[in-house]
Amino acid sequence: MKLLFLACLSPKTGNHTTAERIRSYIESAGHTCELRDTKEFHSSADVADLLSRSPFEGALAIHLFKAGRLLLDIQVPFGVIFGGTDINEDVKVEQNRVVMEQVLLKARFAVAFTEKLKEEAELFLVSQSSKIYIQPQGIHTKETETFYWMEFLRSSGVRSDHVDQLRVFLLVCGLRRVKDPLYLVQVFSAWHCENQQNVLIIIGPKIDPVFTAEVEAVVKRTTGVFLARERSQQELHAAMKKCFAVVNSSVSEGMSAAILEAMDLRVPVLARNIPGNTAVVQHEVTGLLYSSPQEFVHQSQRLLSDRELRERVMRNGKLYVEEHHSVKQERETYQRLVDTLLSA
């Protein structure tokens, strides 16, 4: 079977990583899977034209609006995967919601990362419960064999005579508004001024150029907060392993791969208290949740002073990922679902 797979493929983003992982599952089952960026197509007519000229037998898309809408005019069966922002953000725009509803009605199957995402989809879109499957993201981390932590800090702008004593909080996110990387900046800077061992490094691809310029300007004039260039996945995992804690400050999430990767690496997680995060972070068990910048500092101070708490969330986070985010289970699920396209 030859399958067309559409997704937003900005380099070094969670979407790109997820798409590549799912593509590998499909191809390991003996199918051909052509992964294409949604930016290559202006409309569903463009995709329909491509399929009329190529022997594709099915299609797959991540994100019901950004990618799924491009499949509405095709004549082969397809499946879709909720991206998170489609259910958390796009449904708020009526025109987008209507399109997503059409995609869900036409899709052979849909995949949600969590039970909560499935419930939200059923609440906001025409109920298609029987075709929505729950499959958490599979997580497998791998660090680069050589990673120079000092060089990483220097290249990020961190200057200190006592680098080995720094407590680095790593905020991993693509630079776009929904990730809200500036949410903690002012409060963290004030905390840094009280104790200069505490530094915040924001790291991720520059997705939104206008917003990126805004982030760069704010960080440039803020002490204790730094902006690192994006790294390969293996280098990012190595940086996570070296940091004190991984931070999430998003307005909304489908399922944060960075949070799960940190857990898998036995690194404490401090996550904003939003539905997408509470689906994977249990407060004081697998990580710590906060609802304001001030509470972030409070929870961070607890993590610094309470060794037992730190060790508990590290241990439980690792166990949680091993039990609930199996790559083997994810692979079997997608291979089975793709097979249903063959029985169209």
Distance of CA 181 to the CA centre of its chain: 14
- At 154 the pLDDT is 92
User: Residue 195 is encoded by which pair of tokens?
Assistant: 């104790």
Please check whether residue 112 is in contact with residue 137, taking contact to mean a CB–CB distance below 8 angstroms: no
What does the pLDDT average to over 228-232? 91
State which of 64-68, 251-255, 266-270, 337-341 shows the largest mean pLDDT. Answer: 266-270
- At 254 the pLDDT is 81
- At 117 the pLDDT is 85
| DSSP three-state, residue 94 | helix
State residue 63 phi and psi, 5-degree precision: 95, 110
Please check whether residue 291 is in contact with residue 284, taking contact to mean a CB–CB distance below 8 angstroms: no
What does the pLDDT average to over 164-183? 94
Task: Enumerate residues 6+ apart whose C-beta is below 8 A from 336.
Answer: none
Residue (of 208, 188, 207) closest to 198 by Cα position: 188
Query: In whole angstroms, what is the distance from residue 200 CA to residue 297 CA?
Result: 12
- pTM metric for this prediction: 0.86
| 15-24 pLDDT, tens digit each | 888 899 999 9
| 69-96 pLDDT, tens digit each | 999 999 999 999 998 778 878 888 999 9
For the chain, give the percent of residues with pLDDT over 90. Answer: 75
- At 286 the pLDDT is 98
- At 54 the pLDDT is 87
- At 247 the pLDDT is 98
Residue (of 324, 223, 311) closest to 268 by Cα position: 311
pLDDT(165) > 80: yes
Please check whether residue 252 is in contact with residue 84, taking contact to mean a CB–CB distance below 8 angstroms: yes
Window from 6-10, 84-88, 125-129, 333-337 with minimum mean pLDDT = 125-129
What does the pLDDT average to over 289-313? 97
What does the pLDDT average to over 11-17? 77
Cα of first residue to Cα of last residue in the chain, in angstroms, is: 12
Residue (of 73, 52, 57, 65) closest to 5 by Cα position: 57
What does the pLDDT average to over 113-140? 85
- At 143 the pLDDT is 78
Window from 30-34, 119-123, 285-289 with minimum mean pLDDT = 119-123
Window from 196-200, 233-237, 317-321 with minimum mean pLDDT = 233-237
- At 344 the pLDDT is 58
pLDDT(39) > 70: yes
What does the pLDDT average to over 210-217? 97
Q: 159 or 259, which is more confident?
A: 259
Query: In whole angstroms, what is the distance from residue 223 CA to residue 220 CA?
Result: 8
| 317-335 pLDDT, tens digit each | 999 999 999 999 999 999 9
Neighbours of 213 (CB within 10 A): 12
What does the pLDDT average to over 184-206? 96
Burial class (CB in 10 A: 0-12, 13-18, 19+), 283: middle
Q: 171 or 14, which is more confident?
A: 171
- At 338 the pLDDT is 94
- At 259 the pLDDT is 96
What does the pLDDT average to over 260-274? 97
Q: 97 or 184, which is more confident?
A: 184
| 128-155 pLDDT, tens digit each | 778 999 999 999 888 777 888 999 999 9
Q: Which domains does the chain have, with CATH numbers?
A: 2-138+326-342 (3.40.50.2000), 149-324 (3.40.50.2000)
Average confidence score pLDDT of the chain: 92
pLDDT(59) > 90: yes
